[in-house]
Amino acid sequence: MRDTLVLNASFEPLSTVTLNRAVVLVLQDKAVVEQAHPELRMRGAAVDIPAPRVIRLCRYVRVPFRRQAPWSRRGVLVRDRHRCAYCGKRATTVDHVVPRSQGGRDTWLNTVAACAEDNHRKANRTPQEAGMTLLHQPFEPTPADAMLLALGREDFDTLPEWLARSTAA
Ligand SMILES: [Zn+2]
């Protein structure tokens, strides 16, 4: 995979992100390209930038690497990349795997992103009770997730449609 290394504004390495996320960070003026792939470029109607191999954040962020990142609904959506844990479609809600009515808590390991339809269908039941299957198990956020959360934006996964990836001859 072509992952991109992210440096803090102070040049300390923070984590790696996907190439798409790196390009979105640059296009949103959250980061600048420090080192580019020699052959790969990202091209669109109004932009032509080298695909970043190393980017540096414009603003210093404090990332809780050692402590556990505090749980939040927004954090669950970022961690799960806005994909429903039951069907894989775009998720806008957070589902408690063990419902709160059965003692389930607001923790990283008990919550997943879910589309409104599946969240409504599952209601106050466990996946087993509802006959639904999790596509993946919930997990603690990665350092990259924690960094993106610290940057304060939700959606770093979606490249603009007009932007294509191409390789220079
Ligand atoms: Zn769904």
Predicted pLDDT of residue 169: 38
**What is the residue-averaged pLDDT of the chain?**
86
**Ion ligand 1: residue ranges with CB closer than 5 A:** 84, 86-87, 115, 118
99 alpha carbon to ligand 1 midpoint, in Å? 17
CA of 135 to the centre of ligand 1 (A): 10
Residue 41 CB neighbour total at 10 angstroms: 16
> What CATH class is the domain 73-130?
mainly alpha
Q: If 0-12 CB within 10 Å is exposed, 13-18 middle and 19+ buried, where does residue 167 land?
A: exposed
**Mean pLDDT, to the nearest integer, of 58-80?**
82
User: Which pLDDT score is estimated for 18?
Assistant: 86
Q: Which residue spans of the chain are classified as CATH 1.10.30.50? A: 73-130
What's the DSSP call for residue 101?
G
Q: How far is the CA of 19 from the centre of ligand 1 (A)?
A: 26
Q: How far is the CA of 51 from the centre of ligand 1 (A)?
A: 33
Q: How far is the CA of 27 from the centre of ligand 1 (A)?
A: 30
CA 43 to ligand 1 center in whole angstroms: 33
With vertex at residue 107, the alpha carbon angle to CA 106 and CA 111, rounded to the nearest 5 degrees, is: 80
Whether 36 has a pLDDT exceeding 70, the answer reads: yes
Whole-number pLDDT of residue 159: 61
CA of residue 96 to ligand 1 center, whole Å: 13
In the reported structure, the alpha carbon of residue 89 is separated from the centroid of ligand 1 by a whole-number distance in angstroms of 6
| Residue 105 Cα to ligand 1 middle (Å) | 21
Q: Full-prediction pTM beyond 0.75? A: no
Rounded percentage of the chain residues whose pLDDT exceeds 90: 50
Q: Looking at residues 65-81, what average pLDDT do you find?
A: 81
Q: Percentage of the chain with pLDDT > 70?
A: 86
Lowest mean pLDDT among 9-18, 40-49, 149-158: 149-158
Distance CA 114, CA 101 (A): 18
Report whether pLDDT(129) > 90. Answer: yes
Q: How far apart are CA 89 and CA 82, in angstroms?
A: 8
Model confidence band, residue 150 (pLDDT cutoffs 50, 70, 90): confident
- Give the angle 88-92-96 at the CA atoms, nearest 5°: 80
Which pLDDT belongs to residue 148? 78
Label the pairing between strands 48-57 and 3-7.
Answer: parallel
Report CA(136)–ligand 1 centroid distance (Å).
13
Q: How far is the CA of 28 from the centre of ligand 1 (A)?
A: 29
